[in-house]
Amino acid sequence: MSKGKVFIIAEIGQAHDGSLGILHSYIDALAETGIDAIKFQTHIAEAESSQYEPFRVNFSYEDKTRYDYWDRMGFTLEQWKGIKKHCDEAGLEFMSSPFSQAAVDVLEEVGVKRYKIGSGEVTNYLMLEKIALTGKPIILSSGMSSFKELDEAVAFIRKFGNDLSVVQCTTSYPTPYDRLGLNVITELKGRYPDLKIGLSEHTGAIYAGIAATALGAELLEFHAVFDRRIFGPDAPSSLTIDEIKQLVTGVRSIEASLDNPVDKTDISQYTDLKKIFEKSLAINKDVKEGHIIRFEDLEAKKPKGYGIDASRFREVIGKTLKTDKTRYDFIKTEDFE
């Protein structure tokens, strides 16, 4: 269950670099940030890839092929169960995106609560059906998809009756702000009014998540890393642990403001303050009885209620004083003939 209206997911992805110890360190660190869920990726190299898969960016010094990299990123079923157990103990929902039918089977045995479908899997109807048949909630990423492809995937999943959410995503690491597509959040809300809409982003900063919350996003996802200088394909587009704490604080603050709209027709709470900060009319020079008030003679001074309200200044222009006034004296109704 979300700790607020916005469901916040921190993705580890491959930030663990194949190390089970580093992965568990992320669980402990992220448990202190206030997020709702921690997400991994379940890669079974022989089921999802081949020696022909090219690197998106050939960043690796130790993997000859992308297949080798996925193989190094994998964990055994028992290790995944241990990861899930640690997440449960830390108060974080365990999530992991599968990239093969075999990975779905692993996650079902581990006991995943919901599925996040990555951008590259939106047209993989074989996997969509496999996941939909579990009956579990699904988060669908729009990443590389056109609206047509997204409409078709949404229609396909709807037939199974799963709880479905859609997130705007730009498949670019890190994502430049002129490609972030915050406008798509609003467009998705109009297109699928019955679905939860959110943002999965890779800018490497907290601003996108704050802005998305203000636009009504109900889910946020981002990559997490201990340091953006660390080795790995997603590190430059990730948030650090301290930044995630800042983001969560910001999101919950924006939630509070959105949940409590201000009624500008009711200013009763300012009654006492208005008496202090609003002003009364005063004269800005020494004047004698019989002086005719001009605009140039007037000043406004705090507090309200010690003279004619400053808002009524036009009423006194052209009137004749029946008493002497010293500079900065308040002007009252009884001062005029």
Measure the CA angle with vertex 18, ends 14 and 20; round to 5°.
Answer: 110
pLDDT at 95: 98
- Against a cut of 0.75, is the pTM above it? yes
**DSSP code string of 160-219:** TT--EEEEEE---SSPPGGG--HHHHHHHHHH-TTSEEEEEE-SSSSHHHHHHHHTT-SE
**β 115-117/93-98 pair status:** unpaired
pLDDT per position as a tens digit, 241-300? 999 999 999 999 999 999 999 999 999 999 999 999 999 999 999 999 999 999 999 999
Residues β-bridged to residue 260: none
Pull the structure tokens for residue 200.
Answer: 């999965």
Distance CA 333, CA 308 (A): 7
Q: Is the pLDDT of residue 1 over 60?
A: no
Read off the pLDDT of each residue in 315-321 and give the average, rounded to a whole number.
97
Q: List the domains of the chain with CATH numbers.
A: 7-259 (3.20.20.70), 268-335 (3.90.1210.10)
pLDDT per position as a tens digit, 175-198? 999 999 999 999 999 999 999 999
Phi, psi torsion values for 17, nearest 5 degrees: 50, 35
Q: Is the pLDDT of residue 151 over 80?
A: yes
Beta strands in 71-161 (DSSP E): 93-98, 115-117, 138-141
Distance CA 214, CA 206 (A): 13
